[in-house]
Chain A
Amino acid sequence: MLVLSRKTGESITIGKGITVKVLSIHEGQIKIGIEAPKEITVHRTEIYHLVQQQNRQAALVVKSSVLKAAAMLNKRKNSSEKSV
C-alpha cells in the first residue's frame, strides 16, 4: 500500500483521469471528492463487498428454494386478490 499525506484541498491522481481530492476533515470524518471516467465505478468498499456477497449467494440458489419462495409469493398474491 502506498501511503501519502494530504491536506484539505489537495488531491492525488491515479492513472489517467482519476483524481481523489480531500474536501474537508471534520471530527474524524473526511469528505473526499472523486473524479473518474464514466466507465470506472466507485463504491464504498464495505457496500461493494456486501453486494458482492449477496450476488454470490443469489447465484448459488437451488431449485427447491426457488419453488418454495415462488409458491409462497403466489399464495400471498391470491389471498390478497380475494380480499379486494
Chain B
Amino acid sequence: MNFKNRRFGKLDFEGKHVITFSQGLIGFEESRKFLIVDDEDSQPFRWLVSLEDPEMSFPLLDPELVVPDYNILQREEKKSTFVVATLRERVEESTINLRSPIVIDNTTRNGKQVVLEDDSLSLQHPLLSQPAHLLRNE
C-alpha cells in the first residue's frame, strides 16, 4: 500500500504498520489512520503521519529525551509514549506537550492522544529545558 503525503511524498507501508486512532487526535478527530515515519534528517524526532489527509503530519519525540523521569508517571507495558513537538524557527521557543501525550499500544496498534490529569504538566514545556546534571556541559 502507499499514500502520498505532502511532507514526505509517496510512503510505502504494510497494513500491520497502520496505527488506528479511533478518536483521532484532539482537534483533528476526522483522521483515524496513521503511520509512524522515521526520517533520517529529523532524528530524534519521528513523525505521526495521517494516511487520510496528505497535509497532516506531527513531529513526535520520546519525552525522556527532555524529561528523563516522565515515563515513570505513566509507563504501561507494551505501550509507547510520545509527545507532540511544536517546533519554531527560533529553537528556544520550541516546545513539547507533556500534558497530552500520544500513547500507542504496540500489540493492538491502537493509538490515543490522552489528557493527563496532572495539571502541573505543561502543554508548552520548553524543548531545551534540561535536567541540572546536563547543564554543566553546555
Which residues, 1 to 50 on A, are CB-close (under 8 Å) to B? 39, 41, 43-44, 47-50
Which A residues have a C-beta under 8 Å from some C-beta of B? 39, 41, 43-44, 47-59, 61-70, 72-74, 76-77, 79-80, 82-83
Interchain CB contact under 8 A, A55 and B58 = yes
Interchain CB contact under 8 A, B44 and A48 = no
Interchain CB contact under 8 A, B123 and A65 = no
Given known pairs A56-B27, A58-B58, A58-B59, the reply for A65 and B137 (CB within 8 Å) is no
Instruction: State the CA gap A33–B113 with chains docked (Å).
Output: 22
Interchain CB contact under 8 A, B27 and A83 = no
Known: A47-B115, A66-B59, A76-B138. 11 other contacts (CB 8 A): A43-B115, A49-B27, A51-B113, A61-B87, A62-B89, A63-B41, A67-B42, A70-B41, A74-B44, A77-B65, A80-B137
B23-43 Cβ-contact flags toward A at 8 Å (1 or 0): 101111000000000000111
B81 within 8 A of A: no
Given known pairs A51-B100, A59-B56, A59-B57, the reply for A43 and B43 (CB within 8 Å) is no
Interchain CB contact under 8 A, A65 and B89 = yes
